[in-house]
Amino acid sequence: MTHQIFIDGGVGTTGLEIGERLAGRPELSLITLDEDKRKDAAARRDALNAADIVILCLPDDAAREAVALIDNERTRVIDASTAHRVADGWTYGFAELEPGHREKLADSRFVANPGCWPTGFLALVRPLVLAGLLPADWPVTVSGASGYSGGGKSMIAEYEGPEGAPSAFRPYGLGLAHKHGPEMLRYSGLQHAPLFAPAVADAYRGMIVEVPLQLRAMPGAPSVVAVHGALAAAYAGSPIVSVASLEESAAMTQVRLEHVGATDRLALFVFGNEATGQARLVAALDNLGKGAAGAAVQNLNILAGLPETAGLRL
Ligand SMILES: NC(=O)C1=CN([C@@H]2O[C@H](COP(=O)(O)OP(=O)(O)OC[C@H]3O[C@@H](n4cnc5c(N)ncnc54)[C@H](OP(=O)(O)O)[C@@H]3O)[C@@H](O)[C@H]2O)C=CC1
Ligand SMILES: CC(=O)N[C@@H](CCC(=O)OP(=O)(O)O)C(=O)O
């Protein structure tokens, strides 16, 4: 069986990355629109309704409009935007979220692809909440740096424009109301919004997400070994998510934004010191990979009943 796929927003930053991952797969047939028709509502309506699965790589308002243009009950949707991540009737597209979530996704018609920051954050935090090591009411902080392609075409133009990069390192989200807050809160299982301190680095792609924990102050003062054990157990056998051994982490003196390169991998680390009772949980990913296109293709595979890693860069 050939699955008809339409990427709405297919020539944007995320759309192009997804197209590259779907190219040359005989089980998929890509519906495309000519350049002069790609923003034409009638042409998009036809394509959206002809597809078995559509992937929306659009600004939030255009993503909502695309969903409204679907007037059949068959087309399934993967939305890469922020529009539906905590919306009723949508399944959060992070297969690794918790046991059983992948199966829930497979049965879903509407899937919201996670934001890039929440992907790293939830991968680090959700297993610890589930294991009872991180209390749900604990005040959690998450910081990190992203490549500028995370801001799509407009931020790429800003960083690659004639005046050059505006800054080597630019903290933002200073109003403490980032659009990823709601999904981080909902899917972590925490009771309070994490304090989120993101930054953009002068690099095209790549992302580091860090959650520091004062283990000694937490109920039961969990050990670094226990925290690492919970993460290692959660992702054991995953072809996408890896957890470095404590020995490997202990031998590292630094971790780079470029750690996974242009791949769809998600690499997790626990850097800790049992004597001080402190740990730095770190996720390294590509904002355009597992943070966007890789996750969308993984979700497409799950929806279509295809091998989950087909087309991924691992
Ligand atoms: N970049 C990233 O790392 C990530 C992005 N996302 C999300 O994915 C979505 C796409 O982001 P990104 O690829 O970065 O953004 P881009 O700005 O690079 O691409 C968006 C594309 O959508 C097109 N578009 C805008 N409005 C319409 C419309 N009404 N009909 C058809 N096409 C339209 C744009 O057209 P034109 O080319 O003419 O501007 C552009 O090609 C966003 O919601 C973003 O938040 C999610 C995770 C990570
Ligand atoms: C560097 C940068 O600006 N990144 C974007 C997030 C990119 C992402 O995850 O995409 P969504 O917009 O789909 O959530 C931001 O923080 O708004």
169-171 and 199-201 beta bridge pairing: antiparallel
Residues 230 and 279: their CA atoms lie apart, in Å, by: 14
Residue 245 Cα to ligand 2 midpoint, Å, equals 30
In a domain, 186, yes or no: yes
> What's 197's domain CATH number?
3.30.360.10
Is residue 130 located within the same domain as residue 278? yes
Is residue 77 located within the same domain as residue 200? no
Question: b/e map of 79-108 (b: 16 or more CB within 10 Å)?
Answer: bbbbbbbeeeebbbbbbbbbeebbeebbeb
Catalytic residue of the set 51, 58, 80, 116: 116
Number of domains in the chain: 2
In a domain, 254, yes or no: yes
Is residue 127 located within the same domain as residue 56? no
pLDDT on residue 157:
98
Residue 41 Cα to ligand 1 midpoint, Å, equals 16
Q: Name residues contacting ligand 2 (CB within 6 A).
A: 81-82, 115-117, 146, 150-151, 155, 180, 198, 200, 291
Is residue 166 located within the same domain as residue 86? no
Is residue 123 located within the same domain as residue 233? yes
- Helix (H) / strand (E) element for 54: namely strand 53-56
Residue of the CA atom closest to atom 29 of ligand 1: 62
Nearest to 48 by CA among 4, 2, 95, 99: 4
In a domain, 236, yes or no: yes
> What's 46's domain CATH number?
3.40.50.720
Is residue 146 located within the same domain as residue 259? yes
Q: Which residues contact 45 (CB under 8 A, 6 or more apart)?
A: 69, 71
Task: Determine the straight-line distance between the first and last CA of the chain, rounded to whole angstroms.
Answer: 26
Q: Name residues contacting ligand 1 (CB within 6 A).
A: 8-9, 11-15, 38-39, 57-60, 62, 80-82, 115-116, 149-150, 152-153, 287-288, 291-292
In a domain, 228, yes or no: yes
In a domain, 134, yes or no: yes
Is residue 80 located within the same domain as residue 120? no
Instruction: Tell me the CB-side half-sphere exposure of residue 275, using CA atoms within 13 A.
Output: 0
Task: Note whether 257 and 248 are within 8 A (CB).
Answer: no
Is residue 28 located within the same domain as residue 132? no
Residue 57 catalytic? no
| Pocket residue to mutate for ligand 1, from 6, 11, 13, 113, most atoms within 8 A of Cβ | 13
Return per-residue pLDDT of the chain as tens, 314 residues: 899 999 999 999 999 999 999 999 999 999 999 999 999 999 999 999 999 999 999 999 999 999 999 999 999 999 999 999 999 999 999 999 999 999 999 999 999 999 999 999 999 999 999 999 999 999 999 999 999 999 999 999 999 999 999 999 999 999 999 999 999 999 999 999 999 999 999 999 999 999 999 999 999 999 999 999 999 999 999 999 999 999 999 999 999 999 999 999 999 999 999 999 999 999 999 999 999 999 999 999 999 999 999 999 99
Atom of ligand 2 nearest to the CA of 115: 9
Distances (CA, A) of 191 to 11, 136, 137: 39, 6, 5
Residue 231 Cα to ligand 1 midpoint, Å, equals 33
| Pocket residue to mutate for ligand 2, from 180, 184, 205, 299, most atoms within 8 A of Cβ | 180
pLDDT on residue 1:
85
Task: Note whether 27 and 54 are within 8 A (CB).
Answer: no
In a domain, 133, yes or no: yes
Is residue 205 located within the same domain as residue 248? yes
| Pocket residue to mutate for ligand 2, from 92, 287, 288, 290, most atoms within 8 A of Cβ | 287
Atom of ligand 1 nearest to the CA of 147: 3
Is residue 78 located within the same domain as residue 127? no
Range of 87's domain?
A: 3-114+291-304
pLDDT on residue 147:
98
In a domain, 314, yes or no: no
Residue 64 Cα to ligand 1 midpoint, Å, equals 13
In a domain, 141, yes or no: yes
CB atoms within 10 A of CB 66: 25
